[in-house]
Amino acid sequence: MMAVLDYAKTNFSGGLVDVDVPLNEIDVSKPYLFQEDSVGEIFRRLRREDPIHYCAESNYGPYWSVTKFDDIMKVDTNHRVFSSEAKLGGISIADMHAGESALELEMFIAMDPPKHDAQRKAVTPAVAPSNLTLLEPIIRERAGAILDALPIGEDIDWVRNVSVELTTMTLATLFDFPWEDRAKLTRWSDVTTAIPGAGIVDTFEQRREELIECAMYFKRIWDERVATPGGNDLISMMAGSPATQEMPFMEFLGNLLLLIVGGNDTTRNSISGGVLALNRHPDEYDKLRKNPALIQSMVPEIIRWQTPLTHMRRTALEDIELGGKNIRKGDKVVMWYLSGNRDDSVIDRPDDLVIDRANPRHHLSFGYGIHRCMGNRLAELQLKIIWEEIAKRFEFVEVVGEPERLLSNLVRGITRLPVRLHAKA
């Protein structure tokens, strides 16, 4: 069967993708494949026929795709060979510092040790278990208020009304950000991941200007926190640590954006993805209704099923063999978490949401190794709370239209999800 996808849908040139084309013509990097949610078939073929796949030509230059769970683990846990450094390209398939439009940001997710370790350590207390215990009642109260304000029986957009609201509120709390301005955090998060010309921002220049405005806003907060030290928020932590006190401007902005996007987009898309997943698996929704205690194991399963970041990328620092392929020093290596999370040699029925799996945290969505998501427990906490509060109030969050998805090969985003709420009897 020929399954030619309409390439004219994006601004990106570079040939048609067809699941039946010769292997060496496969290029999974095209953003529309993710927007259409059609990339899964291509990953399935790669896992079967060529799990470590070389693409010689793409809009991002040549790159390796690592598509199986165990191979991804090998790359992610070997930071001595597989570098995250921004100057070598960083952590996404698009090189961080390449091209005229590049912002040349520095952030600790795109650093190797020892600098990475020191900067990560500076902000980790914000998501330590003791802080999460303090955050839990605040998040719960807000989640309840958001849900109580929703109309029953009318069509609403779950993304804007719930997912965005809750995650932005949590982020504002982590930064101790001026409450009335918190919508700015959502905007900066969306602007950071947007492809200029495809919706949110029109040009690279506009994006640059908005992000510099973000840095200037945070600079004022930074100065206030320096004057009144000892706060428990992310900015006070960075201002108070020798590892982050003296950051150059682009490193300051870079780390801010890392914390904004890291804490926002991913969790938002998991909240939306969960509603979608349960609607696509009605038997699982029934299980949940009968036994809300399953929320505990459902939360990591939703994060696996959604896989909010499709990939992380590394650059090889030396020649190395992986799965019988010879990767050369300087090569770009893309770990497709979205594919690894659908690998049936490791996960049973990987395409299905199964809310009572025995080992649900065994997934790749948070990565592995020294860069493993710093906020993973906070993300899970937010999802747990929202589902517990949903279970108290609603019999069914019914999806009543097709989801709209983000045009991006990195963020697996749901931009709109029409739902209708059915109250509990």
Which residue ranges make up the site for ligand HEM (CB under 6 A)?
76, 108-109, 120, 127, 258-259, 262-263, 266-267, 270, 303, 308-309, 312, 365-369, 371-375, 378-379
228: which residues sit within 8 A by CB, 6+ positions away? none
Distance (Å, whole) CA 212 – CA 393:
42
Judged by beta carbon, residue 184 or residue 314, the one nearer ligand HEM is 314
Q: Is 43 helix (H, G, I), strand (E, B) or coil?
A: helix
Judged by beta carbon, residue 17 or residue 337, the one nearer ligand HEM is 337
Burial of 76-89, coded b for 16+ CB within 10 Å and e otherwise, reads: beebebbbbbbebb
Q: Which two tokens stand for residue 349?
A: 């029925």
Judged by beta carbon, residue 91 or residue 397, the one nearer ligand HEM is 91
Judged by beta carbon, residue 270 or residue 315, the one nearer ligand HEM is 270
Cβ-based neighbour number of residue 329 at 10 Å: 11
Cβ–Cβ < 8 Å for 31, 5: no
Distance (Å, whole) CA 309 – CA 273:
12
Judged by beta carbon, residue 51 or residue 273, the one nearer ligand HEM is 273
Distance (Å, whole) CA 265 – CA 194:
11
333: left (phi over 0), alpha (psi -120 to 50) or beta: beta
Residue pointed to by tokens 């026929």: 49
In 3D, which of 54, 116, 77 has the Cα closest to residue 333? 54
Distance (Å, whole) CA 214 – CA 198:
21
Smallest distance from ligand HEM to CB 246, Å: 20
Smallest distance from ligand HEM to CB 203, Å: 28
| Amino acid at position 138, single letter | I
Work out the angle between the directed axes of helices 164-175 and 376-393 (0-180°, nearest 10): 140
Q: What angle do CA 345, 48, 318 make, to 5 degrees?
A: 90
Judged by beta carbon, residue 258 or residue 419, the one nearer ligand HEM is 258
Distance (Å, whole) CA 120 – CA 194:
25
Which value, in Å, is the radius of gyration of the alpha carbons in the chain?
21
Judged by beta carbon, residue 308 or residue 403, the one nearer ligand HEM is 308
Judged by beta carbon, residue 10 or residue 315, the one nearer ligand HEM is 315
Distance (Å, whole) CA 390 – CA 387:
5
Judged by beta carbon, residue 170 or residue 279, the one nearer ligand HEM is 170
Distance (Å, whole) CA 230 – CA 225:
8
Judged by beta carbon, residue 101 or residue 133, the one nearer ligand HEM is 133
| Amino acid at position 349, single letter | R
Smallest distance from ligand HEM to CB 333, Å: 12
